[in-house]
Amino acid sequence: MQASQVHGSAHAQALEHPSQRPDPLDLLARDRVLCIVRANQVADAAGLVSALAAGGIRLVEFTFTIPGVLDVIEEAAEVPGSVIGAGTVLTASHARDAVAAGARFLLTPDIRPDVATVAQACGVPLIMGALTPTELSRAFELGAAAVKVFPARIGGPAYLRDLLGPFPGARLIPTGGVNAANARGFLDAGAAAVGAGTDVVPPSLVERGDHEAIAEKAREFVRALEPEPEQ
């Protein structure tokens, strides 16, 4: 049997047994971190996802800015225990293609009603990008399971805490400018989880497949999420 046939068979088998894979929202609640991968190329998608999982990050988003991202998602989706999503989803076509490739959740950078319609039809959670209270309200009206507050560097944890005033209990995920030094502050402010980007997956490491370094960066980030020990 050719390698491509083995690959396709494994992918089909994975799709036949979704109950064996963690639910994206459950995993988000448990791990409280989502890794966003954005690079000019992904040298080894399965190896990258495995390295992140070894470091404690099992929820991984590959953005549509990556060349050949659908192949990347398909390969990454075969890694047991991790849950793969597609990010920077701008169109309904992108959304359908991503789900067909194995994406278990979708992310948009802004308000995208067409993507929300596809996500609902496919039964996958949508994390919609927003920044202002008006945008948050619109995202939840469209059925977003969570809102990616982007860019989080604008306002920091204090701004997130303010947003939760009129939106108590909202599932907010600050992304953009979040790193090991400030991630815990966002969780303390009420974030449901945080988005880890170049602090964990610098494009240079992703492109050359330095998975050992990425796994260590993931460990450092996950350790930073732990609350300060009580005195």
Task: Please check whether residue 189 lies inside any domain of the structure.
Answer: yes
Which pLDDT score is estimated for 22? 87
Task: Please check whether residue 14 lies inside any domain of the structure.
Answer: no
Please tell me which residue in 61, 74, 75, 78 is annotated as part of the active site: 61
Task: Please check whether residue 98 lies inside any domain of the structure.
Answer: yes
Task: Please check whether residue 7 lies inside any domain of the structure.
Answer: no
Task: Please check whether residue 16 lies inside any domain of the structure.
Answer: no
Domain span at residue 96 reads 22-224
pLDDT tens readout for residues 119-169? 999 999 999 999 999 999 999 999 999 999 999 999 999 999 999 999 999
Specify whether 135 is catalytic. Answer: no
Question: For the chain, what is the domain count?
Answer: 1
Nearest to residue 145, comparing CAs of 166, 116, 122, 174? 116
Task: Please check whether residue 5 lies inside any domain of the structure.
Answer: no
Q: What CA–CA distance (Å, rounded) separates 185 from 3?
A: 46
Please tell me which residue in 74, 75, 78, 148 is annotated as part of the active site: 148
Task: Please check whether residue 4 lies inside any domain of the structure.
Answer: no
* Mean pLDDT, residues 15-44 taken together: 86
Task: Please check whether residue 8 lies inside any domain of the structure.
Answer: no
Q: CATH number of the domain that 42 lies in? A: 3.20.20.70
List, in sequence order, the alpha helices (H) in 61-189.
Answer: 69-76, 92-101, 113-122, 133-141, 156-163, 183-188
Specify whether 217 is catalytic. Answer: no
Give, as one character, the DSSP assignment of residue 35: E
